[in-house]
Amino acid sequence: MKKPTPATIEDVARLAEVSIATVSRAIHMPEKVAVSTRQKVDRAIAVTGYTANAMARSLRLGRSNMILAIAPDIGDPNFAPILIGLENEARAGGYGLLIGHTQGDPLRGVEYLKFLNSNQAAGMILFTGYVPLDPASQTRLPPMVAVGEPLAQGGIPFVGTDDRGGARKMVELLIAQGHRRIAFIGDSRERLSHHRRRIGFDEGLAAAGLRDGQQVLDSDGTLEGGRAAVERLFLRDDLPTAFACVNDQTAAGVILSLTARGYRIPEDFSVTGFDDIPQAGFLSPALTTARQPRTAIGQAAMAILLGLVEGEAPEQAETLLMPDLILRDSVGARPVNRRF
């Protein structure tokens, strides 16, 4: 019969013929222990296959070694790559990563907050775009870092894409291709990230002295919305030669609508997206877009959170990572002879 129960610190101590205090020291403060003793302990640990019971350790320390990440929707294509970054960094720091999803229900956020307060996790990564707040509990908020969508509330560090800079780079690309009349299909809902893309668009155009060529259509960030925006545009006469879309879904709608009308992309119109969702490369034509540096975002966010957990002062309010422009087939030179 093998060992039915995992080795405890006591097993190690007995085998090494020292006290449990010494074993603990040998592990956590090796320099405070005689070399010979340390060796005995190390050997005993190897023999027993000892791993400290994390529960006991957490109880004693009053702090867990888990980080909880909560998201409104785990299925979000942005989620997985960020998760990888989070998990890598957490593991490197000796932490485990827990995940929870709220399915958009703020109540579930509060539930997870309780979870934190019961010491099950040392800190929290927020994908939600808002801070779950338990009106009942008056305990101070645990360490948190927001990711993906900036937080309206202040005081919580945010790590995400440089939406403004990315949008600006996108416009500059279009301008470099000769486009002078560019439409921005935006998102009028309250999303900070989308608002910032709009600002980057404006800036890029203004810097090139092209404020006149600017057209802005409001939409809702969905494929349907993108389609509808194009339809509205065709009611007027003053067509752009390029569409800069607030995200890939919108761009997909624009492409579909344009194609349905018999236009060719990029010969007749150029269109760009933002995000680089998995489907972006499968559209026809394949979509030129700005890819969010998702894994890097996850990694940076976790690094900051672990710093917070371990008592460091927060560095800065926002850490913005520049997206990469992914050049595919939906952007071309401005059509020279517009046939319409």
Partner DNA sequence: CTGTTAGCGCATTCAT
Partner DNA sequence: ATGAATGCGCTAACAG
User: What DSSP state is assigned to residue 267?
Assistant: T
- The bridge status of strand 242-245 relative to strand 289-291 is unpaired
Residue 64 touching DNA (CB under 7 A) = no
Smallest gap from residue 5 Cβ to its own copies (A): 8
- Residue 26 CA to residue 282 CA, distance in Å, equals 56
> What are the residues whose beta carbons fall under 8 Å from the beta carbon of 59, sequence distance 6 or more?
none
The binding track of 228-267 with respect to its own copies, each residue x by CB under 8 A or -, is: ----------------------------------------
**Residue from the set 97, 171, 245, 258 that interacts with its own copies by CB under 8 A:** 97
**Contact between 291 and 310 (Cβ < 8 Å):** no
**Residue from the set 15, 18, 175, 254 that interacts with DNA by CB under 7 A:** 18
**Contact between 274 and 212 (Cβ < 8 Å):** no
Smallest gap from residue 142 Cβ to DNA (A): 15
**Residue from the set 39, 47, 53, 155 that interacts with DNA by CB under 7 A:** 53
Rg (CA), the chain: 27
Residues 136-165 that bind its own copies (CB under 8 A): 136-140
Smallest gap from residue 117 Cβ to DNA (A): 11
Residue 56 touching its own copies (CB under 8 A) = yes
Residue 10 binding: pick among its own copies, DNA, none (C-beta 5-8 Å cut-off by kind): DNA
* H or E segment and range at residue 145: strand 144-147
**Residue from the set 46, 47, 56, 92 that interacts with DNA by CB under 7 A:** 56
What are phi and psi for residue 182, nearest 5 degrees?
-125, 135
DSSP conformation letters of 263-305: --TTTT-EEE-SB--GGGGGSSSPPBEEE--HHHHHHHHHHHH
Which three-class secondary structure state does DSSP give residue 76? coil
Residues that bind its own copies in the complex, under the rule CB under 8 A: 2-4, 6, 49, 51-56, 58-59, 64, 66, 74-75, 77, 79-81, 83-84, 87, 91, 96-101, 114-115, 117-120, 134, 136-140, 278-279, 282-284
